[in-house]
């Protein structure tokens, strides 16, 4: 027997349609809730809800949408899956190295099963966690996942519920934690049936995606419970270790207890019950340390967040780009500030926003692992006009410099799939909207957006084209070929150093120092006994290393050398190169 329940506070009558047979639902003795027991329903039974005699609609809490968001829901018995990760005790975030991937383009097959076949590569690379872009069901086959409309269901073309379980199971068998990207701030524009059931959205606020999710208006208790319940489901029923929360700055919420705080408390309770470390990572544009401040200290209690200022500072310095939000970045001084103070904009003027922005991070009591640092992400690649990676612009030496600054920084490092070998494939914006009008609107909108920045419309990839998806898939032949193999070996070496030496995972921001000479073109990050030295100039540089012993433990150019003289020890770096040096003796 299966008990079907649904929240529909405005409905006069409700029926559940199970395998084509209708059964009236009754009051569930909870305000707005309806229920019905169906003895014949089992794992795999199809069902839908008919409100006031109208056409049946999928369950808002559907765990399985085998024919897409507009089709019937299907019953899932999570206990039917035989997990093989009984020995898995979890991997906490401190000391982690995160790898962001998109299931649909990580392999040409674009499935969970195909991704499992590449896990050995990630183990050899040395990462500890995979961060999987959203897998909630959305219309069509291809998409980034941020247009999901079924926050409780797994996208069927990827492999459905059991496909995700097998993927997580395999990750845990390989010693990899799994972080899942989830979207609470909006739903996609097509296939969203929630408004028919209740006040899931409100027009009191507007977002870039339309009406805001109702987090603080009438009925918002149930809306919050819906989102919290979905988050806990991924962690509990799919054994996921953490969640990445998309664009939390777009959560319109004026209640005394913010949604993020409520979610954080619920996740902590589940972690205590399961005995596994579970965590949340926010994407936030607020530059507000209260997001990652513990609840007992007056914060939201989220364990970590992405740090775009560090990315902008590093990207602008390496590429010379200054357009848009890169306008305030690009100097060695701005990179030095983000390495030691987390954000450039911590109450300073932002020319892009035309106002002051941010709040200082209390570095003396805020561990650095709470901030993710990166050279590339799906956003920073895919939102470019042609989805070009930084490897399409920079030579391998500068890619190596960027990797060293990320992987020896005090933050939790994150890589974007293929970055580790300087993938030549782009990662473009693609959709598969089944509504022809919506598809054309997205296509024309993207062309118009970049035409306003001087791009020829013919240069903008068609997001609805299958070729755009194919072009965005990783080429797994590249890692074994030059010049990709050398960069991959460099990433492996840097991650191994991070794992071997606790100086490089020390979360104390007050112990991080940066020295640089802007005009000479060199910068050096001090992490305990380690120095990451980068020479961006077109001529060799000589950097001071103090008076003691020094040893090069990693160098992109083998001409880098330690010199000892009367005035002390120096590092001689060739033009456009990077080296990591250990000071003192073992």
Q: What is the CATH number of domain 2-57?
A: 2.60.40.10
Hey, CA dihedral for 370, 371, 373, 377, is it positive or negative? positive
- Of the chain, the percentage scoring pLDDT greater than 90 comes to 92
Q: Write down the pTM of the prediction.
A: 0.97
- Of the chain, the percentage scoring pLDDT greater than 70 comes to 100
Round the average pLDDT of the chain to a whole number and report it.
96
| 318 CB-contact burial (10 Å; exposed 0-12 / middle 13-18 / buried 19+) | buried
Binding-site residues for substrate, in ranges, read 244-249, 308-312, 378-383
Do 2-57 and 502-583 fold alike per CATH? yes
Q: Kindly state the average pLDDT of the residues 527-536.
A: 97
- Confidence bin at 585 (pLDDT 50/70/90): low
pLDDT at 451: 80
**Active-site hit among 156, 246, 262, 288:** 246
Per the annotation, the verdict on 109 as an active-site residue is no
Q: Where are the domains of the chain?
A: 2-57, 502-583
**Active-site hit among 181, 222, 283, 346:** 283
- Residue range 123-158, pLDDT digits in tens: 999 999 999 999 999 999 999 999 999 999 999 999
pLDDT at 567: 79
pLDDT at 58: 98
Verify cis geometry, omega within 30 degrees of 0, for the bond prior to 483: yes
Binding-site residues, in ranges, read 244-249, 308-312, 378-383
> Which stretch of 185-189, 281-285, 311-315, 329-333 has the lowest confidence by average pLDDT?
185-189
pLDDT at 242: 98
pLDDT at 168: 98
| CB neighbour list of residue 564: distance below 8 Å, 6 or more residues apart | 570
- Fold of the CATH domain 502-583: Immunoglobulin-like (2.60.40)
- Residue range 62-80, pLDDT digits in tens: 999 999 999 999 999 999 9
In the predicted model, is pLDDT for residue 278 greater than 80?
A: yes
Structure tokens at 574: 């060739």
Separation of alpha carbons 212 and 175, rounded Å: 39
- Residue range 336-387, pLDDT digits in tens: 999 999 999 999 999 999 999 999 999 999 999 999 999 999 999 999 999 9
pLDDT at 210: 84
In the predicted model, is pLDDT for residue 586 greater than 70?
A: no
| 521 CB-contact burial (10 Å; exposed 0-12 / middle 13-18 / buried 19+) | middle
- Residue range 198-249, pLDDT digits in tens: 999 999 998 888 889 999 999 999 999 999 999 999 999 999 999 999 999 9
Structure tokens at 559: 């001409």
- Residue range 169-184, pLDDT digits in tens: 999 999 999 999 999 9
Per the annotation, the verdict on 216 as an active-site residue is no
């Amino acid at each position: 027997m299966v008990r079907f329940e649904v929240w529909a506070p405005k409905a006069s009558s409700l029926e559940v349609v199970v395998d084509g047979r209708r059964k009236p639902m009754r009051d569930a003795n909870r305000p707005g809730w309806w229920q019905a027991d169906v003895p014949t329903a089992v794992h795999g039974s199809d069902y839908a809800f008919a409100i006031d005699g109208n056409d049946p609609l999928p369950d808002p809490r559907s765990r399985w949408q085998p024919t897409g968001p507009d089709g019937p829901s299907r019953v899932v018995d999570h206990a039917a899956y035989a997990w093989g990760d009984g020995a898995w005790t979890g991997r906490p975030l401190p000391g982690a190295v995160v790898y962001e991937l998109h299931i649909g383009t990580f392999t040409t097959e674009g499935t969970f099963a195909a991704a499992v076949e590449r896990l050995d590569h990630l183990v050899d690379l040395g990462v500890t966690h995979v961060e999987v872009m959203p897998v909630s069901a959305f219309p069509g086959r291809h998409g980034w996942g941020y247009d999901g409309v079924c926050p409780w269901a797994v996208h069927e073309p990827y492999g459905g519920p059991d496909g995700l379980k097998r993927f997580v199971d395999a990750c845990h068998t390989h010693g990899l934690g799994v972080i899942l990207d989830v979207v609470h701030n909006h739903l996609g524009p097509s296939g969203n049936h929630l408004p028919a059931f209740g006040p899931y959205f409100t027009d009191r606020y507007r977002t870039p995606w339309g009406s805001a999710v109702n987090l603080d208006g009438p009925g918002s208790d149930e809306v919050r419970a819906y989102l919290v319940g979905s988050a806990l489901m991924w962690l509990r029923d799919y054994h996921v270790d953490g969640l990445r929360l998309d664009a939390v700055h777009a959560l319109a919420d004026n209640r005394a207890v913010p949604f993020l705080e409520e979610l954080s408390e619920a996740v902590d309770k589940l972690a205590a019950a399961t005995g596994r470390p579970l965590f949340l990572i926010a994407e936030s544009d607020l530059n507000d340390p209260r997001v990652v401040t513990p609840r007992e200290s007056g914060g939201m209690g989220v364990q970590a967040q992405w740090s775009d200022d560090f990315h902008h500072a590093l990207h602008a310095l390496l590429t010379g780009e200054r357009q848009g939000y890169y306008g305030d970045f690009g100097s060695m001084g701005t990179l030095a500030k983000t390495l030691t103070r987390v954000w450039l904009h911590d109450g300073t003027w932002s020319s892009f926003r035309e106002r002051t922005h941010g709040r200082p991070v209390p570095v003396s009591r805020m561990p650095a692992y709470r901030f993710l640092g990166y050279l590339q992400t799906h956003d920073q690649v895919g939102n470019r006009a042609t989805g070009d990676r930084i490897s399409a612009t920079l030579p391998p030496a500068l890619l190596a410099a960027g990797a060293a600054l990320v992987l020896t920084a005090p933050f939790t490092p994150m890589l974007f799939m293929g970055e580790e070998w300087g993938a030549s494939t782009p990662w473009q914006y693609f959709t598969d909207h089944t509504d022809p009008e919506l598809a054309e609107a997205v296509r024309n909108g993207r062309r118009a957006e970049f035409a306003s920045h001087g791009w020829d419309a013919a240069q903008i990839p068609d997001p609805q084209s299958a070729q755009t998806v194919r072009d965005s898939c990783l080429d797994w032949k590249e890692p074994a070929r030059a010049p990709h193999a050398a960069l991959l070996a460099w990433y492996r070496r840097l991650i191994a150093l991070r794992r071997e030496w606790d100086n490089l995972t020390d979360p104390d921001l007050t112990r991080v120092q940066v020295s640089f000479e802007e005009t000479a073109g060199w910068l050096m990050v001090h992490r305990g006994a380690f120095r990451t030295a980068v020479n961006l100039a077109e001529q060799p540089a000589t950097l001071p290393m103090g008076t003691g012993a020094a040893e090069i433990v990693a160098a992109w150019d083998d001409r880098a050398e330690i010199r000892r003289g009367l005035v002390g020890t120096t590092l001689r770096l060739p033009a456009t190169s990077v080296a990591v040096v250990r000071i003192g003796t073992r």
